[in-house]
Structure 1
Amino acid sequence: MTSTSITGVTITAGIPHHAKHILTEDAIAFLANLSRAFEPTRQHLLQARIKRQAQIDAGIFPDFLPETAYIRNDPIWRGAPPAPGLVDRRVEITGPTDRKMVINALNSDVWTYMADFEDSTAPTWFNLIDGQVNLYDAVRRTISLKTQKKEYSLRTDKSVLPTLIVRPRGWHLDEAHFLVDGRPISGSLFDFGLYFFHNAKESVAQGFGPYFYLPKMESHLEARLWNDTFKLAQDTLAIPRGTIRGTVLIETILAAFEMDEIIYELREHSSGLNCGRWDYIFSFIKKFRNHAEFTLPDRGDVTMTIPFMSAYVTLLIQTCHKRGVHAMGGMAAQIPIKDDAEANKVAMAGVYKDKLREVLAGHDGTWVAHPHLAHIASEVFNKHMPTPNQLFKTRSEVKVTARDLINPYVKGGKITEAGVRKNLFICLGYMEAWLRGVGCVPINYLMEDAATAEVSRSQLYQWVQHGVKTVDTGVVITSSWTQKLLEEEVAKLLKDAPVGNKFREAAAHIRPEIAGDKFSDFLTTTLYDEILNIDKAKL
């Protein structure tokens, strides 16, 4: 417990010795002000999500909103012009906020770095506060790290380092260690508020600004809440409105129907939209999970070229460019395969093909998870997009209907026992790491995070609930059969697992989620209580 002089604020954890300058009394007061201003609206919007799910369960499927047609049909309005450091974003690297990652990302040959407090960070108290310390130092270009094996520091041979963008947690997540008037503060406001309070003015002085990626939104009203947050934060610190820029991840099926409206709500603060592909697939399965006609095949068959994914991409690009903001592509999650040259060649060829699809479609940039993939993405975008962006590519020929966005057809898609086992393996591998306080983990040469684990978990639920049959073994996927496979996969993992592993605990958490009768909104919320006290020894 940490005592504060701010009325109504309780911090239920210690402050690490190296972070005393982060959780200052002034910063705590700033967070409390944000929470008191916006917590009622956040709760109202979270309740609206529950009501919308009930409508979908009843067969009322998403459509473009008639009440906002005037926004979509108005050809005049635009988002903000690209801000300093965000004009050219052709390759962005993403990853958690640990010190080594931050240094390596800023040393990468990319244009921007998204420091992630969300899907690739397990929100232990130490991870969050340490991440704020690391970004504080990164903005000031003083960050360094000395380990037993190596010293890390920022490159001096680059005149301009990648522009820093921060992704706070989504609106649905709480920060249980920081209570305002007896209630946990929003994880979104905690992550955003601490970074903004300490770094907004300094980042502007460094030539960029306080820039953010905004995750998991399901409506333009949630974008309005972010915009109101931005305005209050800027006004409080006497920073001109419009200094903040936010890129919205379109990673829910509902947000795809409100892309114009989301940009409109953020107008002076908008820096575009991003195709958050894995969360988007998860959202598609999650929202339509109770309707058998929306059952999707093995994860590997759900590619960016299938109907509902292709429609989503083209509509996003058209919408962004119509409004003068960036349309960012998705993640290349591959990790170089160092011990198999031929397999690595195939994997990197897949990365090249995916980035080629993105640039030719009209994206203004793309994501990579590993520095060694940056040169592939750069090669593709430099060749096919010689300008800083391609906002001029209007994609006016695009005509996407509501049905296009929810068309579940996957040509040649199959559901297999191998697919069931792969999903179980990914869930166990990711959840085990999360329970140890690690938010992203390499599995089979892919960097898996919360989004990819969610796809696996939701597919298992969907397949059990609708009793689909595997094409390779002809088995009906039932709860008992899936539980049997779960135990087999756990046994395999335990053979080589180190002492202190959390695979049994992970299995206990995933077991009810794949029985076909329980579906938690997010894995991370179900696991959150397990990691609240994970790092007391570090404080």
Structure 2
Amino acid sequence: MTIAPALDRTEPRQSAGGFATVSPWIEVTAPLGERYEEILTPAALDFLAALHDRFAHTRHDLLAARLQTRVDAANGRDPRFLHETAEIRADRSWRVAGAGPGLEDRRVEITGPTDRKMTINALNSGAKVWLADHEDATSPTWRNIVEGQLNLADALRGRLGFTSPEGKEYRVERELAETPTIVFRPRGWHLTEKHLRFHDRTGRAMHASGSLVDFGLYVFHNARRLIELGRGPYFYLPKLESHLEARLWNDVFVFAQNALGIPQGTIRATVLIETIQAAFQMEEILYELREHCAGLNAGRWDYIFSIVKTFRSRGRRWVLPDRAQITMTVPFMRAYTELLVQTAHGRGAHAIGGMSAFIPDRRDPEITERALAAVAADKRREAGDGFDGTWVAHPDLIPTARAEFDRVLGERPNQLERLREDVEVTAAQLLDIPSVGGAVTEAGVIDNIQIAIRYVESWLRGVGAAAIEHLMEDAATAEISRSQIWQWLHDNTVTAEGTRIDQTYIVQAMGEAVRGLPRFEGDRFDDAIQVFRTVALEPEFPTFLTLGAYARFL
């Protein structure tokens, strides 16, 4: 079934959303499930068409610029602090907008996808903020994307409920004013929504931008309701690689607020610093978003993936050890987080710490004890370093994380006054990959293969946050796993046990890893193995493992 707003293809008209639109239009090319028409209204599709008409071509230009950056890195050109924006960094007078209503205290944020059960659990969790995720923790099936929007709309109107197949009832147990503030994460600029087709002014058709679709539907349906609730439309911005990409988001915000008739500055954004390129442009990113910016987040897993991806062809000095050995205290990660806190606080922005992916096991006290001890140590370090809050993946981790931040913050909502003037981070420190040390082990190879394949299998079934060996794995951790395999293979890395990692060895290791997979009726492991071979073993390195898998399987 296909629906589209009834736009005149030649003359401007006033859309139901109150803004002028012309010939561009959005076509829905996928089946419509129950209540989908409540989200994919003619007015909402008009709004998406207007966003694409204004910003789709700039998005394409910026993605092309990423390609040149990758070529430069492969040819030995390091990321750098930009000479052309030195005046922005030197001017200490400007500040960002800061926290919007309901975002002043962010000491513990829970993350997760927007399926109905997870939405209810997040709103009942007791966290200060819920990162409602349509990116790394969500498999972008058509159902997940549209029904996620429905679930958010229902939650904000107090009509959300869920009954499990076993008959268990789930309801939001708190008043809406007492639930976590929602910060919605749309997909990154590189991702498309293939079930929506944008027809531009020339009649050319292209897949819609996942970013603009996710942002547009959420803000169109919920901005006014969020304002009524004393909060606002807040967003996490993923995968940025330059301040120009931040500028595009700012332009989108300005346009959307004008189109929807809400005050400029109502939208607030927190930017995930999760690429090495963005780490060198934190000040500029804040500057571009200063009228809408609330903070920066240390997206640690994607940051490690970005390091591997950027320097994967640089030779042995740039090869990282087993994923488990790349902790937050290795020099280049320490430099990154300290610079983030200093940069954010210097401009009045929150600094939010990284994910604790541990999953307690209520049936195994020993596993739970280890998980809580690891989370406590991680959050103690973050709070001591000046972070204003942190992420957890499971509600049972919230009390432990909160206790560490309570110990530092007390009754204060944050510690923005800690400017970390003692910190001085250089480009060399951000790029100090060779000093990590550690080793590549045969167990590390098997772990990476298993994690990547098991995660992709889950993702192909529509589950984007997968519990694997008591850790919550998402697309970012799968990316680390497969990109390390690619790097080790193409560098002919030798394991600590003395085995050279070549094609023969990886195929043998895959056989061992596959034998240990938990097969079940209806699994997608055969497809996941195909995806893994493509993204980890082929000569060309796909920039994101989900791109080809989405085009082929979802």
Counterparts of 1:47-196 in structure 2, within 5 Å, are: 47-147=64-164, 148-156=166-174, 160-181=178-199, 182-196=205-219
Query: More displaced, 481-490 or 91-100?
Result: 481-490
Q: Which residue is equivalent to 1:239?
A: 262
Which structure 2 residues correspond to residues 340-359 of structure 1 after superposition, within 5 A? 340-359=364-383
The C-alpha deviation readout for 1:384-403, integer Å capped at 9, x for no partner, is 11110000000011110111
TM-aligned CA deviation for residue 505 of structure 1: 1.3
Higher deviation after alignment, 510-519 or 422-431? 510-519
Aligned-pair CA distance for 1:412: 4.7
Matched AA of 2:272: L
- CA deviations on 1:479-536 (whole Å, 9 max, x unpaired) are 221012112211221xx4111211111111111333262210101102102333xxxx
Residue 326 of structure 1 pairs with residue 358 of structure 2: no
Pick the aligned partner of 2:386 from 362, 366, 375.
362
Instruction: Provide the alpha-carbon RMSD of the alignment.
Output: 1.2
Partner Cα distance (1:412, 1:318) in 2:
27
Work out whether residues 479 and 514 of structure 1, in 8 Å CA contact, stay in contact via their aligned partners in 2.
no
* Separation of aligned partners in 2, 1:259 and 1:501: 42
Which sits farther off after the overlay, 443-452 or 431-440? 431-440
Q: Does 1:283 align with 2:306?
A: yes
Shift of 1:411: 4.7
What is the Cα deviation at residue 192 of structure 1? 0.3
Is structure 2 residue 526 aligned with structure 1 residue 509?
no
Distance 1:390 1:188, change over 3 A: same
- State the alpha-carbon separation in 1 of the partners of residues 507 and 460 from structure 2: 21
Deviations 1:206-251 (A, max 9, x none): 1100000000000000000000000000000111110000000000
Confirm or deny that 1:529 pairs with 2:551: yes
Deviation string 1:102-133 (CA, Å, 9 cap, x unpaired) is 11101011101010000011111111000000
Which residue is 2:20 aligned to? none
1:31 is aligned, of 48, 61, 72, to: 48
* Distance change (3 Å), C-alpha of 1:71 and 1:146: same
| Residue 379 in structure 1 maps to residue 403 in structure 2 | yes
Q: Which amino acid aligns with 1:126?
A: R
- Give the structure 2 partner of residue 4 of structure 1: 4
Change (3 A) 1:376 1:60: same
Aligned to 1:397: 422
**2:12 corresponds to:** none
Aligned equivalents of 1:156 and 1:299: distance in 2? Answer: 39
Please say which of residues 301-310 and 409-418 is displaced more in the overlay. 409-418
In 2: Cα distance, 1:60 partner to 1:412 partner: 23
404-413 or 478-487, larger mean C-alpha shift: 404-413
Aligned match of 1:197 in 209, 220, 226? 220
2:460 to 413, 435, 443: 435
Aligned position for 2:19: none
Cα deviation for residue 35 of structure 1 reads: 0.6
Question: C-alpha separation between the residues in 2 aligned to 1:83 and 1:191?
Answer: 21
**Closer, same or farther in 2 for the Cα pair 1:54/1:210, shift >3 Å?**
same
Range with bigger deviation, 390-399 or 152-161: 152-161
**TM-score, with normalisation over the residues of structure 2?**
0.94
Structure 2 Cα separation of the partners of residues 11 and 342 of structure 1: 50
| 1:490 corresponds to | 514
Q: Distance between the aligned counterparts of 2:320 and 2:326, measured in 1? A: 8
Give the whole-Å Cα distance in 1 for the aligned partners of 2:185 and 2:154. Answer: 17
Deviation at 1:22, TM superposition (A): 0.8
1:270 pairs, out of 281, 293, 304, with 293
- After TM superposition, the structure 1 stretch with the greater mean CA deviation from structure 2, 371-380 or 405-414, is 405-414
Greater CA drift, 154-163 or 518-527: 154-163
Identity %: 51
Q: Is the 8 A contact 1:462 1:516 kept in 2?
A: no
Alignment check: 8 A CA contact 2:240 2:246 kept: yes
SS at match of 2:87: helix
Q: Aligned to 1:392, what secondary structure does the other structure show?
A: coil
* Structure 2 Cα separation of the partners of residues 128 and 445 of structure 1: 27
SS in structure 2 at match of 1:273: strand
Closer, same or farther: CA 79–171 of 1 in aligned 2, 3 Å: same
Contact 2:117–2:162 (CA under 8 A) maintained in structure 1: yes
Contact 2:185–2:237 (CA under 8 A) maintained in structure 1: yes
Contact 2:177 2:229 in 1 (8 A): no
Query: d(CA) in 1 for partners of 2:108 and 2:422?
Result: 26
- Between the aligned partners of 2:437 and 2:167, the Cα distance in structure 1 is 49
For residue 259 of structure 1, report the CA deviation from its aligned partner: 0.2
Give 5+ residue unaligned stretches, structure 2.
8-24, 200-204
Please say which of residues 15-24 and 412-421 is displaced more in the overlay: 15-24
Alpha-carbon distance between aligned partners in 1 of 2:174 and 2:90, rounded to the nearest angstrom? 49
Q: Tell me if the contact between 1:214 and 1:247 (Cα under 8 Å) persists in the aligned partners.
A: yes
Secondary structure of residue in 2 paired with 1:359 = helix
Deviates more, 1:212-221 or 1:154-163: 154-163
Give 1:256's match in structure 2, choosing from 266, 269, 279.
Answer: 279
- In the alignment, the residues of structure 1 paired with residue 4 and residue 490 of structure 2 have an alpha-carbon distance, to the nearest angstrom, of 49
Instruction: State whether residues 436 and 531 of structure 1, in contact with CA within 8 Å, keep that contact through their aligned partners in structure 2.
Output: no
- Spell out structure 1 runs of 4+ moving beyond 4 A: none
Q: By how many angstroms is 1:152 displaced?
A: 1.1
- Deviating more after overlay: 439-448 vs 5-14: 5-14
Counterpart of 1:463, as a letter, is W
Matched, 1:499 2:521: yes
Distance 1:382 1:392 in 2: 16
Secondary structure in 2 matching 1:179: strand
Q: Is the 8 Å Cα contact of residues 98 and 295 (structure 2) preserved in structure 1? A: no
Separation in 2 of the partners of 1:103 and 1:200?
20
CA shift in 2, pair 1:158/1:171, >3 Å: closer
Matched, 1:307 2:331: yes
Q: How many residues align?
A: 529
Looking at structure 1, the residues matched to 5 and 419 of structure 2 have their Cα atoms a distance apart, in angstroms, of: 54
Supply the distance in 2 between the matched residues of 1:231 and 1:507 (Cα, whole angstroms).
Answer: 44
Larger displacement relative to structure 2 (294-303 or 335-344): 335-344
Please tell me whether the aligned partners of residues 360 and 367 of structure 2 are also in contact (alpha carbons under 8 angstroms).
no
Give 3-state SS (helix, strand or coil) of 2:125's partner: coil
Distance (Å, rounded) in 2 between the aligned partners of 1:243 and 1:43: 27
